[in-house]
Amino acid sequence: MNKELTVALNYALHKGFQIHPDAFKILENVDVQKLEKIIKEIVREKTRQKLFQISQDDLETYLGIKDDPSLQSNVKVLSDPTTKITTGEGVRGYNALFSSRFNKLKRIIADRPESRMLKSIASAKTTKSEDDFYVCGLVSQRNTERNITKLVLEDPSGSFEGVVFATELQKTAGTLLNDQFVMTRTSLGKNSGFIIKDIILPDMPDQATNKSETEAYAVFLSDLHIGSKYFMEEEFAEFVSWLSSPDPIARKIRFILIGGDVVDGVGIYPNQDKELVCQTIEEQLKKTEELIDKIPKNVKIIIMPGNHDPGRRALPQPAIPEKYNSSLWKRENVVMVGNPAVLSLNGVKVMMFHGQSIDDIVKTTPGLSYDKPTNVMKHLLRARHLSPIYGSQTPIAPEMQDLLVIEEVPDIFHVGHVHRAQLDMYKGILLVNSGSWQKQTPFQASVGMTPNPGIAIMVNLKTFQVFHENYNSNSDNILQS
């Protein structure tokens, strides 16, 4: 306890007052310069009323930080893979997965007027028509040689190779990802090959954003890596205590979203034990729980797993299993969801995804990089898929349904994983990469990855105004937008 607080408390005690423990918590967060004045005034007022206890309510009234009871905090889980995961068997499972991907995305693209001229690949191959037609499918090959890009598409009726000649269109073709769904405008060339004249992605429609009726705020966090030596425990604790401070924004926070890599896990990478301060999942989750318990109870906390958290590694991931820490599941203000998940926060649709696929996409796509993760997020939105590339670093399970297709149009898209906090907008959708609370690891340093950890991003769900609190003492560590 600091000196000023001791002096202030002694003053009240000598005047015959009792101080409620909740009131004490508030006092701990008050500016020390103001403590003496606050206590003296409250003591004077309450002595006049002949009431000799100082409660949380007294302090909140005095400081003008009484929580606004009209602020809503409604959480609805609109989509969560946890209970839908079935895992089909081997090849049959993957066939089902890809046919589900194709069908869902074909349904999405059917809203476009061009879809009326859509042919199946089998019927396109027998066409004699000189008119342009459209086909759609999943990209199974793309390669560029001598100024020509060849694309192979597959649909349930067969596969088709088309050639792209136009320079601009080749650039678009160059950014297509393997197993991504596309529609092409195509014509029959002179020597019966197919010429691709346009490439159309499912993409997002422009549409009005849903807003909250009341000014509740949501905080976007991810990649805490609790249990790691590099977890910024002090900074994170400082942020958590800010949540109980009289700050006007802190007083309006009703949601905290944690987008995965809550803990550092065990055995996630070779020799990880040397970089851990908590050696078991249980210990790591216990520490998580201790931090979560310091968050005011009127804040709903949504917890999603990432590649470091317990449960299965392959996407889609179920929520962190209850067996590791049943008490997180039992808390009334905590909602455990899988990865990816879609939530409604006071009517605002938030799509959360840890972001594992970013690694594969950055590696294969010209123009994309780790330091601008929101550009990769735009790529995912255009593809209407959270992890298009199959068979690379990101494990994908053979589900009977492709739960990674972006079926809903979100108002906010929340991703983490690459440890770079960044904000952007795309077609009216607010893009948030929530960065991390882990300092640069030796691995990240060795590959030149520079995280900007220790930044909490928050959004007013009524106005969509964005704020942030930066707990990093390094002045180069800033939020990108």
The residues binding ligand D5M (CB under 6 A) are 223, 261, 269, 307-308, 359, 417-419, 443-444, 449
Q: Phi, psi (5° rounding) for residue 466? A: -110, 140
Q: Phi, psi (5° rounding) for residue 335? A: -120, 120
C-alpha–C-alpha distance, residues 441 and 276, integer Å: 12
Closer to Fe ion by CB, 179 or 261: give it: 261
Question: Shortest gap between Cβ of 264 and ligand D5M (angstroms)?
Answer: 8
For residues 419 and 453, the answer to whether their CB atoms sit within 8 Å is yes
Assess 137 for contact with Zn ion (CB under 5 A).
Answer: no
> Cβ contacts of residue 192 below 8 Å, gap of 6+?
none
Question: Shortest gap between Cβ of 355 and Zn ion (angstroms)?
Answer: 7
- Number of residues lying near Fe ion (CB under 5 A): 2
What H or E segment, with its residue span, contains residue 37? helix 32-49
Output the six-digit token pair for 82: 């946890």
Please pick, from the candidates 306, 316, 338, 398, the single residue that binds Zn ion as defined by CB under 5 A.
Answer: 306
Closer to ligand D5M by CB, 313 or 331: give it: 313
Question: Shortest gap between Cβ of 436 and Fe ion (angstroms)?
Answer: 6
Q: Phi, psi (5° rounding) for residue 299? A: -105, 125
Closer to ligand D5M by CB, 393 or 474: give it: 393
Question: Shortest gap between Cβ of 143 and Zn ion (angstroms)?
Answer: 31
Between the CA atoms of 283, 311, 411 and 382, what dihedral angle is there, to the nearest 10 degrees? 130
Q: In degrees, to the nearest 5, what angle opens at C-alpha 98 toward C-alphas 96 and 100?
A: 65
Closer to ligand D5M by CB, 1 or 447: give it: 447
Output the six-digit token pair for 360: 């594969």
Closer to ligand D5M by CB, 244 or 307: give it: 307
Is the backbone peptide bond immediately before 340 cis, with ω within 30 degrees of 0? yes
398 binds, among Fe ion, Zn ion, ligand D5M, none (CB under 5 to 8 A by kind): none
359 binds, among Fe ion, Zn ion, ligand D5M, none (CB under 5 to 8 A by kind): ligand D5M
What H or E segment, with its residue span, contains residue 199? strand 194-200
444 binds, among ligand D5M, Zn ion, Fe ion, none (CB under 5 to 8 A by kind): ligand D5M
Question: Shortest gap between Cβ of 225 and ligand D5M (angstroms)?
Answer: 7
Closer to ligand D5M by CB, 159 or 440: give it: 440
Closer to Fe ion by CB, 244 or 284: give it: 284
Is the backbone peptide bond immediately before 69 cis, with ω within 30 degrees of 0? no
Question: Shortest gap between Cβ of 437 and Fe ion (angstroms)?
Answer: 9
For residues 382 and 204, the answer to whether their CB atoms sit within 8 Å is yes
Please name the residue that has the structure tokens 């055995």: 267
Contact letters (x/-) for Zn ion, 313-352, by CB under 5 A?
----------------------------------------
Closer to ligand D5M by CB, 101 or 417: give it: 417
Distance of CA 417 to the CA centre of its chain: 9
Closer to Zn ion by CB, 79 or 434: give it: 434
Closer to ligand D5M by CB, 305 or 318: give it: 305
For residues 136 and 199, the answer to whether their CB atoms sit within 8 Å is no
> Cβ contacts of residue 433 below 8 Å, gap of 6+?
355, 373, 374, 377, 415, 416, 418, 420, 421, 422, 423
Please pick, from the candidates 155, 215, 223, 309, the single residue that binds Fe ion as defined by CB under 5 A.
Answer: 223
Best CA proximity match to 262, nearest among 216, 207, 235, 301: 301
Question: Shortest gap between Cβ of 263 and Zn ion (angstroms)?
Answer: 11
Restricted to residues 240-269, the positions that interact with Zn ion (CB under 5 A) are 261
C-alpha–C-alpha distance, residues 244 and 233, integer Å: 17
Please pick, from the candidates 261, 402, 411, 424, the single residue that binds Fe ion as defined by CB under 5 A.
Answer: 261
Query: What residues pair up with 344 in beta bridges, in sequence order?
Result: 76, 349
385 binds, among ligand D5M, Fe ion, Zn ion, none (CB under 5 to 8 A by kind): none
Question: Shortest gap between Cβ of 90 and ligand D5M (angstroms)?
Answer: 27
Q: Is 371 helix (H, G, I), strand (E, B) or coil?
A: coil
Assess 180 for contact with Zn ion (CB under 5 A).
Answer: no
Question: Shortest gap between Cβ of 134 and ligand D5M (angstroms)?
Answer: 36
The C-alpha R_g of the chain, in whole angstroms, comes to: 27
Assess 417 for contact with Zn ion (CB under 5 A).
Answer: yes
Question: Shortest gap between Cβ of 238 and ligand D5M (angstroms)?
Answer: 22
Assess 307 for contact with Zn ion (CB under 5 A).
Answer: yes
Q: Please state whether beta strands 455-460 and 217-221 pair in parallel, antiparallel, or not at all (unpaired).
A: antiparallel
Q: Which residues would be at the binding site for Zn ion (CB under 5 A)?
A: 261, 306-307, 417
